[in-house]
Amino acid sequence: MTHYKLMIPGPVDVEDEVLAAMGQPTLPHYGSEWLGIYHDVIAGLKKVFQTESDVLLMPGPGSAALEAALNSLLSPGDGVCIPVSGFFSRRLAQIAEVNGLNVLPVDFAPGQPVEPDTLRQRLAEQPRPRVLAVVHHETSTGVLNPLKEIADVAREFDLPIIVDAVSSLGGVPLPVDEWGIDVCVTVANKCLATPPGIAILSVSPRAWKMVAAQENPGRGWYLNLGTWRWYMDNWAWHPYPITLPTNNIVALQVSLQHILAEGLEAHYAKYVQASSLVRRGLRDLGFETFIPDEWACPLISAVRTRPDVPVSDLQAFLRDEHGLLIAGGLEELRGVIFRVGHMGKAASPEYSQAFLQGVADFLHCRELV
């Protein structure tokens, strides 16, 4: 099987020690040895989330945890305000809609950040929703939304806030408790640099009260946070309702140990350095970034392709000649932009330089320099 350097928005290439942890003999998901590992991982995650609230490990993708959050705090017919500015915020709205929620969208153009003043105005004008749900890093465009200011707006209207931090938590500052986030959802396979398989949620005391107040038997079992709460409260030897992917969690433990030993600020800084290097190099090669630097997330670079550089041709060349994968645009941005991930090992100078050399080689081969 070919190993490509992953410079996509996720999953990410992980360190050898993390991969080695995946190959250890499988532990049962209960017992004193396992619970020691489990609680150590939870403690490490609380440091990354910067929260004293409960943290849950939910096997599955981030979308499952987002569905659990919406489904558990709200009942069909309840209103949820969702700022929509790209593919993943549209998906969040779709998840809410199929669960019978009344979505109150606040629309922004793709590539534009969520504007707190516009959000404030719309909340004042429309029927009051029960929850605000927002995507922090819209990876379809590379925008990092101003979450602190958005959370401030939520607080003004006394709205609980659910945050899709799937592609931001662990890569940029996101102090959950300080900013008043009620449910924060991420995954192990992006900024936490672990193979896919685990979604992670922090749940505030206010969110738990909303979960307890729901009386909707149609919410399901697995994606019902009330189920998880019951096991947390009643099964100390097995404080989760299902079999956990223990190898993935052991790998996450190794990655968390590296991140916390490095320090969160240093961990964030390497993403800034990698994205700055790549963006500077691409501009030197005649490309433009899709969005201004002031609201561009350092975890991916969204780049407007040149008229003489088809995105699909560049992707194929980098894959076949340099063993390197980048992502194209989604939906209306397909063929317009390409996206370069800086998470995991892609934050290293080795990956950044290999990518820039590959792009330069493509331009030379096509005689486009």
197-222 burial, b at 16+ Cβ within 10 Å, e below that, comes to bbbbbbbbeebbebbeebebeebeee
Contact 290, 303 (CB under 8 A): yes
- Tracing tokens 């090669």 back to the chain, one arrives at 285
pLDDT score at 27: 96
pLDDT score at 215: 72
- Cα 302–Cα 141–Cα 252 angle in degrees, nearest 5: 85
**d(Cα 104, Cα 83) in Å, to the nearest integer?**
8
Residue 278, φ and ψ in degrees, nearest 5: -65, -45
Q: For residue 368, how many other CB atoms are within 10 A of its CB?
A: 12
* 3-class secondary structure, 89: helix
Tell me whether residue 82 is exposed, middle or buried, using C-beta atoms within 10 angstroms of its C-beta: 0 to 12, 13 to 18, 19 or more. buried
Contact 49, 202 (CB under 8 A): yes
CATH of segment(s) 16-260? 3.40.640.10
**d(Cα 114, Cα 106) in Å, to the nearest integer?**
9
Which alpha helices (H) appear in 29-98, and where do they start and end? 32-49, 62-73, 87-98
**d(Cα 154, Cα 147) in Å, to the nearest integer?**
10
Q: Amino acid identity of 353?
A: Q
Q: Dig out the tokens for 269 from the structure.
A: 């800084």
- Tracing tokens 């020691």 back to the chain, one arrives at 36
C-alpha distances out from residue 49 to 43, 204, 354, Å? 10, 12, 32
Could you tell me which of 245, 243, 249, 366 has the C-alpha nearest to residue 316?
366
Question: Do 5-10+263-365 and 16-260 show the same overall fold?
Answer: no
Residue 80, φ and ψ in degrees, nearest 5: -135, 125
The residue ranges of every structural domain in the chain are: 5-10+263-365, 16-260
Q: pLDDT > 90: what percent of the chain?
A: 95
* 3-class secondary structure, 65: helix
Average pLDDT across each block of 10 residues of the chain; the chain has 369 residues. List them in order.
Answer: 93 97 96 97 98 98 97 95 98 96 96 97 93 98 98 98 98 98 98 97 98 77 95 97 98 98 97 98 97 96 97 98 98 97 97 98 91
pTM score above 0.85: yes
Q: Dig out the tokens for 341 from the structure.
A: 């991930």
pLDDT score at 11: 97
Could you tell me which of 172, 167, 168, 150 has the C-alpha nearest to residue 159?
150
CATH of segment(s) 5-10+263-365? 3.90.1150.10
